[in-house]
Chains A and B, each alone.
Chain A
Amino acid sequence: MLLQNAVGDALNNTEWAFALAECVHIGGFAVGVGSIALVDFRMLNLGLRYESTGRILKYTELWTVIALLFVVFSGVALFLSQTDVYRVNPIFPLKMYVLAAALLYNFTIHRKVAKMENPPPLLSRLVASVSLLLWVAVVFGGIFTGFLV
């Protein structure tokens, strides 16, 4: 089925292609999750405290979206290069579920609370903490997927 595909072939036949995809993946989440973390830290009343959460979100949201697109595209390319390996990996599906949750959460609840004028501090801190936990879980999922290959 997906065992032989054009993207997978490209990554597997060129020596550096897989490594490049991985580097794009890492750079992507450094910017994508890093920009979300800036908002999260602010919601915890840490970091860029001289600006409102809403403004920080405004500054970072485009970076977040574009960077996460790079993460997802490079991730798809990596997956397509070894579909048989990933599909039997016990951790990989978990990573995907947590990623889906993190993405959904980020663009719904998280976004809503980040844009609130005067959110209850407890709510902000809770929402930010969940966000950070979800994304850290995705990173752990990525590493553990690799260790079970």
Chain B
Amino acid sequence: MDIARSIQSIDFLTAFSESVLAYPIVLSIHLACIALFGGMILATDLRLLGLTFKSLSITDVVTSLRPWKRIGGTIMIAMGLLLAASEAEKYAPNPFFWTKMIILGLIGVHALVFRPIVYSKTEELDRSPIIPTKAKVAAILSLCLWTAMFVMGRLIAYWD
């Protein structure tokens, strides 16, 4: 709790959470990222499952969307950190917030596990007559983890 209090007491963050407009603006940007970049995650996952964009190779879909997903993810995380740091005392005991952070960690693990065998091996996936199971597992896990992210995110406000 002391750590939380000292985080949110940093001048800049205090000013931030006291500003009537700053917090909702940052939250809006955070959600706008879902709107703008969520479709890219969906497109990648559905392509890995072989359900859509079939005229495009997996390589094309993954590589062309990758830089935008990274940009979107960076903005999203930056905004999220700002939100959490400015309300550190409120978020510190919130189980929904910590569950969301754990899921974010799992998303990181997902990347570590599947990048070497799926995401950087898209040519191999394209050459295969049917899409290998590992790619489909990666896609389904990705969809589940990201859905859990926004559900937990929404539930943060319900804890009191």
Chain A residues with a Cβ under 8 A of chain B: 19, 22-23, 26-27, 29-31, 33-38, 41, 46-51, 55, 59-60, 63, 132, 135-136, 139-140, 142-144, 146-147
Inside 8 A of B34's CB, which chain A residues have their CB? 26, 29-30, 34
Residues in B lying within 8 Å of A, measured CB to CB: 23-25, 27-28, 31-32, 34-43, 52-53, 55-56, 60-61, 64-65, 68, 147, 150-151, 154-155, 158
Residue among B25, B35, B150 with max Cβ neighbours from chain A (10 Å): B35
Q: Does B28 contact A139, Cβ atoms closer than 8 Å?
A: yes
Instruction: Please provide the 8 A-B residue pairs with the shortest distance between their CB atoms, ordered closest to farther.
Output: A34-B39, A30-B38, A34-B38, A33-B35, A50-B60, A143-B28, A140-B28, A147-B24
Whether A38 touches B40, Cβ cut-off 8 Å, given contacts A23-B150, A47-B65, A48-B65, is: yes
A26 vs B36: C-alpha distance in the bound complex, in angstroms? 12
> Which residues of chain A are near B24, meaning CB under 8 Å?
143-144, 146-147
CB–CB A50/B151 < 8 A = no
Contacts of B53 in A (CB 8 A): 48, 51, 59
With both chains docked as a complex, state the minimum distance between the C-beta of A96 and any C-beta of chain B, in angstroms: 17
A35 to B25, CA, bound (A): 23
Q: Of all chain A residues, which has the CB nearest B147?
A: A27
- Complex CA distance for A140 and B33, rounded to whole angstroms: 11
Task: Say whether, besides A47-B68, A59-B52, A34 and B36 are in contact (CB < 8 Å).
Answer: yes
Q: CA A77 – CA B158 in complex, angstroms? A: 18
Task: Select from chain B the residue with minimum beta-carbon distance to A39.
Answer: B39
List 15 A–B pairs whose Cβ atoms lie within 8 Å, in order of A's numbering. Answer: A23-B154, A26-B150, A31-B39, A33-B35, A34-B35, A46-B68, A47-B65, A51-B55, A59-B52, A139-B28, A139-B31, A140-B32, A143-B24, A144-B24, A146-B24
B36/A136 in contact, CB under 8 A: yes
Task: For A143, give its contact among B31, B37, B150 (CB under 8 Å).
Answer: B31
A30's partner among B23, B25, B64, B150 (CB-CB below 8 A) is B150
Q: A59-B52, A139-B32 are in contact. Are A19 and B154 (CB under 8 A)?
A: yes
Q: Are A37 and B27 in contact (CB under 8 A)?
A: no
Contact of A132 among B25, B28, B36 (CB under 8 A): B36
> Min CB distance, B154 to chain A, in Å?
5
* Docked CA distance A37–B23 (Å): 25
